[in-house]
Structure 1
Amino acid sequence: MTRLALTGSTTVITGAASGMGAEIARLLAPRGVHLALLDHNAEALAALVSELDGTVTTHVVDLRDDEAVLATARLVQESHPRINALLTCAGSSMLGTLDQLTMEEMRWLVDVNLWGTVSITKALLPALRAAPAAHITHFASVYAMAAPAGRIPYSMSKFAVRGFSEALRHELEDSSVTVGAVYPAGVRTGIILHGRYAAALDPAVAARAAKAQAAMYHTEPADAAAQIIRATERRRARTMVGREARLIDVLVRLSPSGYWRAMRRPLREAVDTTTPLR
């Protein structure tokens, strides 16, 4: 398969104002890659752009709004005639058990993580098809392979992103567009510390669980970003990001229905949103 040349063409990044999206932008800009950066946070986008040189446009959009996504996609295409990569980094987390979460809270997370990914992919697919070669990198998660307690809406949304990515890859197998998913785990971006939690939760209990989860992360964001860029350039279908992701991938393969027995103990504090603080 032809390696994707990003320099001189445009890469579109969602969730670009922070986390992995921002780290990827920081690595691509010095290489002469044109960037279209999407996020709902205008101030954070502006702060990021102040760090970057080269051809960069910013687009403030709520990916849950399909009409706004279509309008943004048109603006991106007007500013960037050569788009050959899309990285869907936008997403959030949610703490709480099924008993603690409301349907509205769970729908919000699925709208952000899944439908936002589907919407921007659909809107930009014609532009990607127009390129001689293009690649879509969807952000799944290690929790798209193994579903822990206390993370139902997050895992549910990421399993769906995985299914969307794989089905779309098969639909496009005779085209110039390839599709892959990355499965990050243990990346020190702060997503769990800044994510949402069920309104029914004691904020102190939620903070304890989030802190326990964050303590298990070992991969530096810049290292993860470099690996994700390589996966995009090589147009990989499936990429594990971080030591924990590789370990869980093996565990799930070895024990598809029993992996939780091995994961329960190390995750016990991170998934505990019911025990009151002493």
Structure 2
Amino acid sequence: MNLSGRVAVVTGAGGGIGRGIALALSRRGCHLALADRNAQGLGETRDMVRGVKVTTHVLDVTERDRCRALPAEVVAEHGRVDLLVNNAGVAIGGTFEQVDEADFDWLMEVNFHAVVRLTRAFLPQLKATDSARIVNVSSLFGLIAPPGQTAYSAAKFAVRGFSESLRRELEEAGSTVGVTVIHPGGINTDIARNARPPRHVTNEEAALIADEKDRFQKFLRMSPVKAGEIIVEGIEKERPRVLVGNDARIGALIERLSPVGYWNILKRSMA
């Protein structure tokens, strides 16, 4: 996919992987419509971009009416949409029994339902171009499911399943729209640091969750800029799946070899 002169919509572009993707796209001459609920972060990303047209759109992906209105805003500014990158995401700490129903539903709304909602909203514009792509960011935890990640893994596995089925539907329809699903491993972003803690736990449980968050943070080593470059290279090559980092590649391989017992293997390796 030749990205020069194309127009990309990137959600979660106020920092982290979204910012890394935006910068990598701009280096290839791709114009940008950047969306995030964090207006300050959006402005910082915009100021880092050079040589292409950039618009910013303050967007909470849980707001359905705003999501439905976004395609018209982007087309009014840019005239077209060639690439949709569904990257916005959040995390929650704690086990399934510690995370209450409202927080579990909130994570699913951001990490999965918004992906579906924005894909539905932008698909007509994407189908109107000669070559377009939907890029949905899943996770290593959309390939493996560790303890303490029930909500996050549920959402990221759902993103993977939705993306793979949609890709096959579009292929069978002869569409010019392709689908890429991204599985980042340990990327050094704020998503773990900003993970919402469970609201109804004891002080002892809260301390254990905080310790687990600190331990997990040590595995987040790759810079978002490098991750963005890997992802955009995958988009250019129209890859259906992009594994970002050695940890993602190793996790995918071990899960394939031992689909039931992989966690015991990985736990020993991490120890």
Q: Classify the TM-score, shorter chain.
A: over 0.9
Residue from 138, 154, 162 that aligns with 2:136: 138
- Deviation string 1:134-176 (CA, Å, 9 cap, x unpaired) is 1111101111111111100000000000011011101110100
Question: 2:4 is paired with a residue of what secondary structure?
Answer: coil
- Deviation string 1:171-197 (CA, Å, 9 cap, x unpaired) is 110100000101000111232112212
CA distance in 2, matches of 1:257, 1:146: 10
Q: Is the 8 A contact 1:140 1:182 kept in 2?
A: yes
Residue from 245, 249, 253 that aligns with 1:250: 253
CA distance in 1, matches of 2:111, 2:23: 23
Alignment match, 1:205: 208
Alignment match, 1:43: 40
Alignment match, 2:181: 181
Residue 267 (structure 1) shift: 5.6
Gaps spanning 5+ residues in structure 2: where?
Answer: none
Residue 220 (structure 1) shift: 2.2
> TM-score, normalising length from structure 1?
0.91
Q: Is the 8 A contact 1:251 1:259 kept in 2?
A: yes
Alignment match, 1:223: 226
Residue from 232, 237, 245 that aligns with 1:234: 237
Alignment match, 2:14: 17
Q: Please identify which structure carries the higher helix content.
A: 2
Alignment match, 2:87: 89
Gaps spanning 5+ residues in structure 1: where?
Answer: 269-278
Alignment match, 2:195: 195
Task: After the TM superposition, list the runs of 4 or more consecutive aligned residues in structure 1 that deviate by more than 6 angstroms.
Answer: none
Alignment match, 2:111: 113
- Deviation string 1:55-80 (CA, Å, 9 cap, x unpaired) is 00011111112211011121012112
CA distance in 2, matches of 1:28, 1:99: 41
Question: 1:166 is paired with a residue of what secondary structure?
Answer: helix
CA distance in 2, matches of 1:165, 1:211: 32
CA distance in 1, matches of 2:32, 2:178: 19
Question: 2:82 is paired with a residue of what secondary structure?
Answer: strand
CA distance in 1, matches of 2:44, 2:256: 42
Alignment match, 1:274: none
CA distance in 1, matches of 2:191, 2:269: 19
Q: Is the 8 A contact 2:88 2:111 kept in 1?
A: yes
Question: 2:56 is paired with a residue of what secondary structure?
Answer: strand
CA distance in 1, matches of 2:85, 2:71: 14
1:6 equivalent to 2:9? Answer no
> TM-score, normalising length from structure 2?
0.93
CA RMSD of aligned residues (A): 1.4
Letter in 1 for 2:71: A
Residue 47 (structure 1) shift: 2.1
Residue from 50, 53, 56 that aligns with 1:55: 53
Residue 266 (structure 1) shift: 5.0
Residue from 29, 34, 46 that aligns with 1:32: 29
Matches within 5 A, 1:66-81: 66-81=64-79
Letter in 1 for 2:3: L
The range that moved more, 160-169 or 28-37, is 28-37
Q: Is the 8 A contact 2:19 2:225 kept in 1?
A: no
